[in-house]
């Protein structure tokens, strides 16, 4: 049997409502910055929802020439920029000698929805001959991976996971397993999303998933009384995963080690979580078993914590089911309280928060925590960041369709 490779994270890249690079995003998270504001990308007047988490002061032409950018849907543009950041951060040189051992696995929950809407308008107004030949390559969710691999020259395992809100976490987990079993030396992995479009807002509103509270200072309130849905956001979170052998051979920086991955299905409902979050609990237990650790060894959990009434409560129940008495010693936070919910990108952003928490011994807070749900009695790190020595951190992502994905990270030791 082939020996399992140890897997480490050597590069980070992010675009988010609280920062267009990782250092800025992390500092703003520690400061409890609220990234939610009035939506400017579309006219929200016909909708119940008027706020979201948009990127700020971001111009794609600062990163990709206009002619090339026009051939990519916005979610793909975000992936290319964040992937470049991650690879540069890792100081990973992709060349003819190693390209076939470096892969890309980047997911998107809904892909090029904006491209679909614009192309359909062209079809209606000007007929089928005016639909762009780039329509399909821009629309399909795997094109973020395709364009990143083309841009960076990575020729190894190449694919895309689509599991709604669990997309990026599943993508990183699958990339972890590629390296662990020896199928790649490095993987560029994570998620990307550009969901602030007319159809997305209309559709998620119709499913009653979005908050109808349009006050940016109180709408996104995970674990609090009065929460009524999540806040839609955009961006990308990408990491470079690498075998320890590869990272050490080139003297790479190491943020943390990836040691556990769990993935389960609820087999219950298209949007609602399974009873008491039992599917999420099984995914957490699977990740702990994969890491070969016990619940009391985990110090921090970056919760899915979307600010939905049932979702938040059932995740807390799942945490209690998994951790038992150790749940009351566990530090938890929902960084979505600051970023909003980036759908398929959210697990990538939260992986970055988790590994930086380990590196710096700091936990970003759950902001807007002023009226705790009386049924939620765990430590959610309210309102202010805290210092906390962390050996193991866990990150949860729980998606529509009953998709649950969990990762466990460890402070790196030789």
Indicate which residues carry an active-site annotation.
165
Cα distance between residue 337 and residue 339, in whole Å: 6
- Distance in angstroms (rounded) separating the CA atoms of residues 92 and 115: 32
- Rounded to an integer, what distance in angstroms lies between the CA atom of residue 369 and that of residue 125? 48
Q: Evaluate whether 140 touches 222 at the Cβ level (below 8 Å).
A: no
The radius of gyration computed from the CA coordinates of the chain, to the nearest angstrom, equals 20
Supply φ then ψ for residue 29, to 5 degrees: -65, -45
CA distance 89 to 86: 5
If you write DSSP's letter for every residue of 22-82 in order, what string do you get? HHHHHHHHHTT----EE--SS--TTSS--EEB---S--GGGTS-HHHHTTS-HHHHHHHHH
| 235 within 8 A of 380, measured Cβ to Cβ | no
Spatial distance between the Cα atoms of 114 and 136, rounded to a whole number of angstroms: 12
Q: Which of 220, 212, 228 is nearest to 367 (CA)?
A: 220
Q: How many CB atoms lie within 10 A of CB 46?
A: 9
258, 7 Cβ separation under 8 angstroms: yes
Cα distances (angstroms) measured from residue 358 to each of 20, 332, 353: 21, 13, 9
Q: Burial level of 33, CB count in 10 A (0-12/13-18/19+)? A: middle
CA 310 to chain CA centroid, nearest Å: 21
Let me know: does 72 contact 144? Beta carbons within 8 Å: no
For residue 324, which phi and psi values (nearest 5 degrees)?
60, -135
Partnered with residue 13 across adjacent β-strands are 238
Contacts of 245 (CB under 8 A, 6+ apart): 5, 6, 185
């Amino acid at each position: 049997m082939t020996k399992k490779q140890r897997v480490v994270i050597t590069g980070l890249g992010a675009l988010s409502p609280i920062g267009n690079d990782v250092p800025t995003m992390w500092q703003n998270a520690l400061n409890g910055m609220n990234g939610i504001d009035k939506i400017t990308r579309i006219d929200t007047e016909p909708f119940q929802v008027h706020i979201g988490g948009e990127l700020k002061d971001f111009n794609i032409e600062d990163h990709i020439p206009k002619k090339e950018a026009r051939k990519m849907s916005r979610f793909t543009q975000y992936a290319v920029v964040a992937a470049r950041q991650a690879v540069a951060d890792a100081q990973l040189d992709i060349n003819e000698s190693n390209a076939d051992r470096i892969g890309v696995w980047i997911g998107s929950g809904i892909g090029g929805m904006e491209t679909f809407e614009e192309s359909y308008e062209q079809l209606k107004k000007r007929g089928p001959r005016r639909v762009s030949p780039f329509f399909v390559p821009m629309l399909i969710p795997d094109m973020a991976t395709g364009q990143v691999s083309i841009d960076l020259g990575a020729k190894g395992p190449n694919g895309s996971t689509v599991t709604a809100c669990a997309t990026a976490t599943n993508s990183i987990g699958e990339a972890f397993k590629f390296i662990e079993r020896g199928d790649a030396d490095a993987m560029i992995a994570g998620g990307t999303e550009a969901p602030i479009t007319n159809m997305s807002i209309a559709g998620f509103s119709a499913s009653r998933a979005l908050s109808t509270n349009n006050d940016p200072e109180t709408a996104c309130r995970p674990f609090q009384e009065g929460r009524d849905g999540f806040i839609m956001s955009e961006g990308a979170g990408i990491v470079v995963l690498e075998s320890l052998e590869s990272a050490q051979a080139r003297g790479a920086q190491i943020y943390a080690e990836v040691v556990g991955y769990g993935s389960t299905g609820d087999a219950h409902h298209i949007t609602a979580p399974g009873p008491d979050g039992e599917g999420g609990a099984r995914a957490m237990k699977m990740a702990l078993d994969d890491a070969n650790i016990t619940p009391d060894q985990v110090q921090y959990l970056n919760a899915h914590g979307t600010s939905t009434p049932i979702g938040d409560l059932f995740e807390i129940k799942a945490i209690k089911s998994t951790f038992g008495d150790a749940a009351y010693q566990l530090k938890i936070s929902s960084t979505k309280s600051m970023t909003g919910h980036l759908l398929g990108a959210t697990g990538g952003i939260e992986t970055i928060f988790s590994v930086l928490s380990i590196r710096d011994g700091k936990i970003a807070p759950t902001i807007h925590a002023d009226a705790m749900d009386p049924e939620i009695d765990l430590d959610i790190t309210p309102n202010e960041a805290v210092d906390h020595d962390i050996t193991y951190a866990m990150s949860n992502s729980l998606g529509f369709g009953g998709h649950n994905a969990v990762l466990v990270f460890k402070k790196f030791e030789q």
